[in-house]
Structure 1
Amino acid sequence: MTLGRQYDSVADYVAPLTATGSWGGTLFAHTFHNDNINETFRVDNSVKYTSASYAGFQTGGLYGLSSQAGAFADNRAWSIGKKYQNGPLSVAAAFMNIDNASANTTGAVSGSPYLSVRQRVAGAGANYAIGAATLGVVYTHTDLVDRPTVPVSTLRFDNFEVNAKFDISAAWYVGAMYTYTKESIAWSTGHNNPHRNEFGLMADYRLSKRTDLYAQTVYDKASGQDVFGDVGNLAESSSQNQTVARVGIRTSF
């Protein structure tokens, strides 16, 4: 049992099965960080329970208090998740619900990228290790209902991801990801429902136990009316295509 500002169950259980939540980092996040698998925000005033592992099964849940006198449901959050791990197989599923995150700044969520009366995220995935390779598949669904002061009243995302990581040696690994995202939008003016395809590649070389060099690139192709390429929610493209490349050195403490 832990108390404080903490990550929800989707981030705890489903994110480690994705590219962004394991080996890839921010550029590999799903469109607009819609499902929080990149740990975009944490839950304040929260109580979290994580069970021990029983025959490979582990369960966890979180509740974030609203801290709003007379309005208990305003800006509260809760989530629940479960995983199973046995040898090369890892499977997990989780659900998160946030009520009216924009109602106050002292409740459960102060950093959510979306304003809506209700935000719900459900996800599930699996990883399987075959020798030096680890293969993964993940699905998440995000539902944003009654968005105030914007022309989009309802917004839904369905994210389908496949990923793979291969350890060339103890020092080298390479990874690849493909994500298809379908967006369902209820506009105040007529628009179609867009979708996008995103591809990512990464190579990493470990110089020491603490320091590594990496290179990565992600390409995003959006389709639909009035939608644009957007990799990692960094800066929207002026067209429906966007490619971002990054090289860096990283030190762990």
Structure 2
Amino acid sequence: MSTFIKFGAAAILTLGASGVACAQSSVTISGVIDTGFGYTTNVGNGSQNKVGALNSILGVSNVGFRGKEDLGGGLNAVFNLQAGFNPTNGSQSSSGQLFSRNSLVGLESSSGALTVGKQWNFNDDWLVGSVFKGGYNSGAIFKFSEFDAVSEIYNNTIKYVSPEVGGFQGGVMYGFGEAAGSLRTGQVYNIAAKYAQGPFFVGITFDREQDATVGLTNTGNVLKLTTLGASYTINALKLRLGAARSDISGPGSFQSIPSLPTARKAYAVEAGVDYTFTPAFTGSADVIYRKNTTLSNNTKVYRLLGIYSLSKRTSLIANLAYLSNGDGATESLINTNSTAIGGGYANQHQTALALGIRHTF
């Protein structure tokens, strides 16, 4: 997921052409390395502890190329390529996918931006980071079984983002299923709107994924996710509140989640606070509650996060999370040897401590 990934201008190449018309082009090479060490309880067979190196405490490490060409008249051609990797061993973050974090090209102007390729949904663009805290070993909401689509990247998409007017902005993304003889098989769409003005932010999105199974076995089942988030900033204090509702009509091949054996309905709520204690140190506290109403089970996560900036590009990270399963829930912070959905054991609890360093370039 693209949480907290910001593009710097560490390496910029600008090309100019002389003549009556002069088109300016720029390419920015940038990225992030996010790694450290962690301690987690109740992994393995469900009763073992684990100490080891970690990848992606707050976001997936990556290196990327972003470019823009001035085509004249306020129109620009743009592209974005991001390759995710694991710093602990140098492997790709997604096996077999070089540009797994972004792979798009398009046009932008005062009328908005239209891009094509492998792209993040609006949940990740607008709500993850601003409302829902990220992290891959620390209980982020998108790690829950039914809620991966709170932060998801989709193949074969076309995406439009409107210009911002008076704080309002909207967008729509459509994903082609690529199945012969059927437009609906594997189809994805995501629509969103947000308002950001002064200290206040609110955003809402709706995702719909169609079963991508090809042939007579296609079930026609769908995954629907509605996500709402808001935040309010008062000086050094930021208050956050978000909620998501997932409705999965039955088994199927979906991009964002593994196939579930039966239909599921669930909701999740996250409340959080960020406080800037000093210009260099920010602390955060979050509580997440997940309820599967179909199976009548629930999961709670309590999380503390501290980020200390050594410079504009380098930060130290400390993250402490506690996960509690109830009524047979099998969610996890770090996957165990369990084959259950969620990666954990029924009613199992986990505590995870991560200490790391994050450098952007």
For the criterion TM > 0.5, the same-fold answer is yes
Structure 2 residue aligned with 1:35, among 147, 165, 168?
147
For 2:350 and 2:314, how far apart are their aligned partners in 1?
30
Partner of 2:128: 15
Partner of 2:193: 82
Task: Tell me the C-alpha RMSD between the 2 structures.
Answer: 2.3
- Which range moved further: 238-247 or 162-171? 238-247
8 Å CA contact 1:174, 1:202 repeated in 2: yes
Determine if the alignment matches structure 1 residue 230 to structure 2 residue 326: no
Determine if the alignment matches structure 1 residue 46 to structure 2 residue 149: no
8 Å CA contact 2:200, 2:232 repeated in 1: yes
For 1:48 and 1:38, how far apart are their aligned partners in 2?
17
Structure 1 residue aligned with 2:209, among 88, 98, 121?
98
- Which range moved further: 236-245 or 176-185? 236-245
Three-state SS of the structure 1 residue aligned to 2:144 is helix
8 Å CA contact 1:29, 1:37 repeated in 2: no
TM-score by length of 2: 0.60
Partner of 1:109: none
Partner of 2:224: 120
**Once the 2 structures are TM-superposed, how far is the Cα of residue 83 of structure 1 from its aligned partner?**
0.4
Uncovered stretches (5+) of structure 1, i.e. residues with no partner: 105-114, 186-191
For 2:279 and 2:247, how far apart are their aligned partners in 1?
41
For 1:170 and 1:116, how far apart are their aligned partners in 2?
52
Higher-Rg structure is 2
Three-state SS of the structure 2 residue aligned to 1:221 is strand
Which 4+ stretches in 1 moved above 3 angstroms? 101-104, 148-152, 233-239
8 Å CA contact 2:240, 2:273 repeated in 1: yes
Determine if the alignment matches structure 1 residue 58 to structure 2 residue 161: no
**Once the 2 structures are TM-superposed, how far is the Cα of residue 38 of structure 1 from its aligned partner?**
6.0
Structure 1 residue aligned with 2:275, among 122, 141, 166?
166
Partner of 1:212: 315
Partner of 1:199: 302
8 Å CA contact 1:182, 1:194 repeated in 2: yes
Letter in 1 for 2:280: A
Q: Structure 1, residues 33-77: CA drift from partner, whole Å, max 9, x if none?
A: 5323663x4111111000111000000110011111201111110
Change (3 A) 1:33 1:146: closer
Partner of 2:351: 243
8 Å CA contact 1:11, 1:36 repeated in 2: no
- Which range moved further: 176-185 or 25-34? 25-34
8 Å CA contact 1:128, 1:134 repeated in 2: yes
Letter in 1 for 2:285: A
For 2:150 and 2:354, how far apart are their aligned partners in 1?
17
8 Å CA contact 2:283, 2:305 repeated in 1: yes
**Once the 2 structures are TM-superposed, how far is the Cα of residue 151 of structure 1 from its aligned partner?**
7.6
8 Å CA contact 2:207, 2:224 repeated in 1: yes
Partner of 1:157: 266
8 Å CA contact 1:83, 1:93 repeated in 2: yes
8 Å CA contact 2:318, 2:353 repeated in 1: yes
